[in-house]
Each structure stands twice: as structure tokens, then as C-alpha cells.
């Protein structure tokens, strides 16, 4: 295979070819670095390219593989990580100017685990300021590779763009209110938000500690499962990580969903949802039924209060994370993140406790639903493929961001795992997605369901024409 033809191969597929010595890790890495150099001046998905260390890692991987040692599915495969994840010696700006000179002296746990698995780290991917809604005014935002007039998603914008454009074979993103799911939907990639506590957050800048999730973004559910299998698991450096065994997410995959019950609240998922988003969800449910799943009508607990609560709760946690630099250096902050910080600093202890109680009650109500269903299906977002013009006031328009968060932030408030799957296109040519939500720590069911769906559909195999 010519290296010019490989950039849209699946992560697991390219790994198998490298391990079979049909491809060279060094040549694949060189090809990806060349593609980044060719295209990313326009796409702006990378905050920092780590070419020298990537080639050194590839050479080491090639030597090990030649000796017969294969560390796993990621060994020798080039991927990239969101900029807020520390990589020793490389800049980690967190989408901000304040941190532009920060070079950590150690790797984030997720980065260390990727390296231990033999993955090749191509670089750090651009993100919104502080991982909130908007890019810092002084930073060029990534461009959606399907159409530069379309929103690339937030906050893991670079992760979505680079993965969709074939500038890496997979990436890491983070999700606090929807930031794995938004860019996955916007760019036509697959995203897996793990259960809170499944993946260590050590060595990653915080947005909001009890809402932040680190997870994989790739071009298939199988590829997401391969990455999650590497980064998941207890970490003594992050005592909120949960001491549960990490399953083999690539085991027990099948071409059917027999025995799986998928719940859907048709009223909630249709109210205020545009035609494209509704159509993709409907088609996802039809495919699920064709694959043998039982579709069960459910009544989802009213999420309005927790959506409203997300803003002040996130603001409080962000204010703690930025205590050393805000408000003392407030002039260096963009308006969206500054507004969230101000909101958080205005809350009282009484306000906070009421939010905590409502959150716990909602978490319990959602947990009860999973006594009757295995998965819940819903849109990735209420309005499909939004334009940059529509999203221009995202960080400062409460009604716009509340509408966007409608199907995402409830599952950051509960800490539930989700998988986002491309399922069609809007009239403007932008990708459209839907999502499955699973039980806590049952990411394996999400990988299986996503893989079954992707075996009989080809939405995840469609790529921007670049």
C-alpha cells in the first residue's frame, strides 16, 4: 500500500498492517507529518506538532515490532492528544495565552499510558480557551474540514478536525458539557466519553473537576475501544480514578444487538430538535431494531434543572481551577471564559449545596432507568451541523448554549458513559450524529453497539474531500 493512500485507514487496521510488517511505523509517521504540514496551515487543528519525538518513537516501535514484540493495537500507530493533556517538554497552553510558555516536566497519565502502549504522539491539538465554549480571541480556531463555514465543535475542536481530516488515526478529547460529543458530531467522527472515574485526569488542566472526562475520538467505535483500553484504569496519582478491572473492549464484538434493550423518550428527544437530528436518531433506532435490539419507550427524568445548574456548578469549579490567575490576570482572558468565572464566583455555599442535592437526585433517577434498559438513544445535539455564524455568540448567549447542552451535559452531571456515532448529513453538507448512553462503567456495551451499527452503515467511512 502506498503511504499516500493510508491516512483514512482505521486505527486498528493500520496497526495490524504495521504489526504484520506490511507498513512501517516510521513511513506511516512521516506520511502523517507530511499531511499535517500540507493541510494544517489551513485547518489549524494542531497547537504544536511533535515531529522529532514522534519520529524517534516510531523508530523505537519499528525496532521492537521487528524483534517480535507487539505491545497491543496502538503499537506504532500515530495519534494526537488535546492540548490540555501534558506531554513532557511540549507546550501545554490549554487554549490560553496565560499558559503559552508552560512546558510540563512530566506526562499526563493518559499520555504516559499511550506511550507505554507504543503509540506515536504526533502532537498537541488545539482547543477552546480553558476548554470552555469559545476559542481565545488571539488563537486561530480550527476549521471544519467538511466546510469552513461550519462549526468545528467545542472544546475538543482540534481533536475532531484532525481525526476527521486524516491528520491522525485517533485522538484524545475531553468532555465537561459535551466537548467530545460536539466535535465528534460536527466533524463526522466517533467519540466515546467514558464514565467519570474510568480514566485518570492526572496531568490534564481542569475545566471543572467533577464534570471533566477524558476519552477517545476516532473514526470508528472499535478504534475508540482500542484507545480506551489503553488509557482506562485506576491511577494512584488520581485517587478519583476507580479501581475496577478494564475489560478488553475489542472482545465479544458481533454483528447483532440481540438481547439488548434500547430506551428512547420520544417526547424529550423530539421537542425542539431539528429535522436532520431527528431523522438521524430515527434511523439509528431503525438500524438497532433491524440488528435485533428491543426498542423500549421510556420517560426520561426532566433534565431542565440540571442543565440550568450546569452553568453555576461549572463556574464554581472553574473558579477554583483558575484561582491563581483570575481575577488577578483577567485582562488576559477572553469574554466567554471570564463570564463563566464571574458566574461561579458569585455563587454562595447555599447555592452550591442545592445544586449538589439536585444533581444527586437526578443521577439516581437516571440510574433507575438502567434497571429496564441497557442503552438510551438520543440526538448528539438538538440542532444539526450549525454554522459559525449561528454559533458566533455561543459563549455569551445563554439560550444558545443551553439548547446545545440539552442532550449532553445531563450525562456529565451523572458521569454516564456515551458513544457518539455519525449517522447522516444535513442539507448544508455537515455531518449529523446520534448517541447511545450506557450504565456506569459499561463502556464495553457502547463499543459493541457502536460497532454493530457501523458494520451495517457507512457513515463513519465517509470523509471530507481533502
Q: How many angstroms from the chain centroid is the CA of residue 231? A: 13
- The H-assigned helical ranges of 88-188 are 109-116, 157-164, 181-187
- How big, in percent rounded to 5, are the helix, strand and coil portions of the chain? 40, 15, 45
179 as an active site residue: the answer is yes
Looking at residue 236, the DSSP 8-state letter turns out to be T
Smallest CA-to-CA distance from 199 within 165, 226, 238, 167 is with: 238
Give the integer Cα–Cα distance in Å for 147 and 465: 10
260 phi and psi angles, rounded to 5 deg = -100, 130
82 as an active site residue: the answer is yes
Q: Catalytic one among 179, 200, 241, 416?
A: 179
DSSP string across 5-61: G-TTS-HHHHHHHHHTTSS-HHHHHHHHHHHHHHHHHHH--EEEE-HHHHHHHHHHH
328 as an active site residue: the answer is no
- Which residues does 29 contact at the CB level (< 8 Å), separation at least 6? 54, 55, 57, 58, 78, 120, 122
- Which residues does 389 contact at the CB level (< 8 Å), separation at least 6? 149
Q: Catalytic one among 25, 155, 156, 200?
A: 155
Q: Catalytic one among 17, 44, 82, 279?
A: 82
- Active centre residues (catalytic): 82, 155, 179
Amino acid at each position: 500500500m502506498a503511504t499516500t493512500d493510508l491516512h483514512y485507514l482505521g486505527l486498528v487496521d493500520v496497526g495490524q498492517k504495521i504489526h504484520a510488517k506490511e507498513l512501517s511505523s516510521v513511513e506511516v509517521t512521516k506520511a502523517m507529518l507530511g499531511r499535517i504540514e500540507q493541510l494544517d496551515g489551513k485547518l489549524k487543528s494542531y497547537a504544536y506538532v511533535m515531529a522529532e519525538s514522534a519520529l524517534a518513537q516510531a523508530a523505537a516501535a519499528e525496532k521492537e515490532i521487528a524483534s517480535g514484540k507487539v505491545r497491543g493495537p496502538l503499537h506504532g500507530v500515530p495519534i494526537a492528544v488535546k492540548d490540555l493533556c501534558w506531554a513532557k517538554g511540549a507546550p501545554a497552553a490549554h487554549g490560553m495565552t496565560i499558559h503559552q510558555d508552560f512546558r510540563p516536566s512530566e506526562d499526563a497519565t493518559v499520555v504516559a499510558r499511550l506511550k507505554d502502549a507504543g503509540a506515536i504522539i504526533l502532537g498537541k491539538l488545539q482547543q477552546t480557551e480553558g476548554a470552555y465554549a469559545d476559542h481565545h480571541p488571539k488563537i486561530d480556531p480550527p476549521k471544519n474540514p467538511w466546510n469552513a463555514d461550519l462549526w468545528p465543535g467545542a472544546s475538543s475542536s482540534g481533536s475532531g478536525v484532525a481525526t476527521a481530516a486524516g491528520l491522525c488515526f485517533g485522538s484524545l478529547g475531553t468532555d465537561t458539557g459535551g466537548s467530545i460529543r460536539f466535535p465528534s458530531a460536527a466533524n463526522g467522527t466517533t467519540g466515546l466519553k467514558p464514565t467519570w472515574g474510568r480514566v485518570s485526569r492526572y496531568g490534564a488542566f481542569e475545566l471543572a473537576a467533577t464534570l471533566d472526562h477524558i476519552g477517545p475520538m476516532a473514526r470508528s467505535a472499535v478504534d475508540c475501544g482500542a484507545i480506551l483500553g489503553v488509557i482506562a484504569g485506576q491511577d494512584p496519582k488520581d485517587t478519583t480514578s476507580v479501581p475496577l478491572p478494564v475489560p478488553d473492549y475489542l472482545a465479544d464484538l458481533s454483528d447483532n444487538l440481540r438481547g439488548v434493550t434500547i430506551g428512547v423518550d420520544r417526547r424529550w428527544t423530539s421537542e425542539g430538535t431539528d429535522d436532520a437530528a431527528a431523522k438521524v436518531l430515527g434511523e439509528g433506532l431503525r438500524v438497532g431494531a433491524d440488528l435485533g435490539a428491543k426498542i423500549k419507550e421510556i420517560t426520561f427524568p426532566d433534565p431542565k434543572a440540571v442543565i440550568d445548574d450546569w452553568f453555576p456548578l461549572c463556574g464554581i469549579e472553574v473558579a477554583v481551577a483558575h484561582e491563581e490567575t483570575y481575577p488577578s490576570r483577567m485582562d488576559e482572558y477572553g469574554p466567554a471564559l471570564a463570564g463563566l468565572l464571574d458566574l461561579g464566583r458569585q455563587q454562595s455555599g447555599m447555592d452550591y449545596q442545592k445544586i449538589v442535592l439536585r444533581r444527586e437526585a437526578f443521577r439516581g433517577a437516571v440510574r433507575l432507568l438502567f434497571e429496564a434498559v441497557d442503552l438510551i438513544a438520543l440526538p448528539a445535539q438538538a440542532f444539526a451541523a450549525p454554522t459559525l455564524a449561528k454559533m458566533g455568540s455561543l459563549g455569551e448567549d445563554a439560550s444558545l448554549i443551553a439548547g446545545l447542552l440539552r442532550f449532553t451535559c445531563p450525562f456529565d452531571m451523572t458521569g454516564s458513559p456515551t458513544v457518539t456515532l455519525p449517522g447522516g448529513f444535513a442539507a448544508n453538507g455537515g455531518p449529523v450524529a446520534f448517541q447511545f448512553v450506557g450504565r456506569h462503567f459499561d463502556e464495553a456495551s457502547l463499543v459493541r453497539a457502536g460497532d454493530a451499527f457501523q458494520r451495517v452503515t457507512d457513515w463513519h467511512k465517509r470523509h471530507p474531500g481533502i
